[in-house]
Amino acid sequence: MPGLSGRMSTVIKAKISKLLDRAEDPAETLEYSYQKQIELLQNVKKGIADVVTSKKRLQLQEQNLQQQLVKLDTQARQALAAGNEELARTALERKNGAQAELQSLDGQVAELEKQQEQMTQSEQRLRTKIEQFRSKKEVIKAQYSAAEAQVRISEAATGVGEEMADVGLAMQRALDKTENMKARADAVGELEASGTFQDLTALGPGEDDIDRQLRELSSTSQVDSELEKMKAELASGSTPSGELGAGTPADAQQGAKQPEEQAQ
Amino acid sequence: MIVRIATEGQFELDEGNAQELRELDQKAVDQCAAGDEEVFRATFAQMLALIRSHGRQLAEDHLVPSDVILPPPDVSFQEARGGFSGEGLIPD
């Protein structure tokens, strides 16, 4: 059979006959096939659990990023209020970076949601087919002559086998995607750990320049007219976007403290 | 004709639609061979739309083999071009 669908059919049918060829007599084929079906159903359940775990992990990261967005935004405003545009810009750059990550995570969570739904449907389909197969095999055993039974068994087993191949394929694709996302999530996790998205002032004894400047400036916030001007600049979108911030030293991050209260 | 969209389920197509599907299928293969991903994607989408809109979805408890099996809707161009390795389809 030529064509795209022909090639796909060939691959799946080869898999099915490999599965069915394991057993020699019809009764054995039935039992072997049934056993494999149950195994696959268990695998699908595990696969779904795996997808759910990955999704939860990404959602947790989303929450973290969201908190950091709020912090960085507040800090940008504080810096602006204190008249330090450069510092505000740095905070906003980091915020932009975190925002881009958040958007990307949103897409991934949606994708995993889709995978989960598809696998759940696949599991349901396979479960129904297995039920059907189980009752059919009893009927076949009871009602047909050996020769006829063989034909019917083969047909039923192929029908289920195809569903198995299909579920296996759906699962493989879902897990491949999940793996890719895990790698991505790990990368984001590392960025977070290195302080790239972290609170600019939440630094311990090894605080960096930005943190020190912020604290210095926060006490001398008498820059009302300047603030209005800068706010207007920021509102018109003159803040550069894109690149992630350079990050702060990871060791400094370890001793993180709450930001100091800002003087108004 | 019984058609399966891999990862999606089985559909029954009448002969007229089946013929149309075969033609699209051949077109898709030619476009793959020519390396024209965009055109291939459009044809493949047409195939899926044809099956989904004109096919009758088979009941879940129907135990019949398909006449043809279409690749999964999210098939990559590489997979479509190079055929399918078939690895991992059924647990060994």
Phi, psi of B72 (to 5 degrees): -60, 150
Q: pLDDT tens digits, chain A, 264 residues: what are they? A: 457 777 778 777 777 777 777 666 767 777 777 888 888 888 888 888 988 988 898 899 899 999 998 898 888 888 887 878 788 878 887 888 888 888 888 988 998 898 888 888 888 888 888 888 888 888 887 887 777 877 777 777 788 888 888 888 888 888 887 777 777 667 766 766 665 555 544 444 444 555 556 555 543 343 344 445 557 766 665 544 433 444 444 444 444 444 444 443
Distance CA A24, CA A27 (A): 9
What pLDDT score was predicted for residue B84?
A: 53
Report CA torsion sign: A220, A226, A227, A228.
positive
Residues from chain B that touch A40, judged by Cβ atoms under 8 A, are 90-91
- Asked if the C-beta of A138 comes within 8 angstroms of chain B's C-beta atoms, the answer is no
Query: Residue A12's closest CA among A164, A118, A127, A119?
Result: A164
- In order, the DSSP letters of A150-194 are HHHHHHHHHHHHHHHHHHHHHHHHHHHHHHHHHHHHHHHHHHHHT
Distances from the Cα of B4 to the Cα of A93, A98, A166, B14, angstroms: 49, 42, 9, 14
The answer to whether the CB atoms of B90 and A131 lie below 8 A apart is: no
Distance CA A239, CA A92 (A): 7
Q: How close is the nearest chain B Cα to the Cα of A37, in Å?
A: 10
Residues from chain B that touch A124, judged by Cβ atoms under 8 A, are 60
Q: pLDDT tens digits, chain B, 92 residues: what are they? A: 999 998 888 999 999 999 999 889 888 888 888 888 899 899 999 999 999 999 999 988 888 888 888 888 888 888 887 655 444 344 44
- In order, the DSSP letters of A16-51 are HHHHHTT--SHHHHHHHHHHHHHHHHHHHHHHHHHH
Report CA torsion sign: B18, B41, A114, B87.
positive
Q: Are A175 and A22 in contact (CB under 8 A)?
A: no
- Asked if the C-beta of B15 comes within 8 angstroms of chain A's C-beta atoms, the answer is no
Instruction: Return all residues near A107 (Cβ < 8 A) that are at least 6 apart.
Output: none
Whether the full predicted model's pTM is greater than 0.90, yes or no, is no
- Asked if the C-beta of A130 comes within 8 angstroms of chain B's C-beta atoms, the answer is no
Distance CA A44, CA A171 (A): 7
Q: Chain B, 55-74: which have a CB under 8 Å from a chain A CB?
A: 60-72, 74
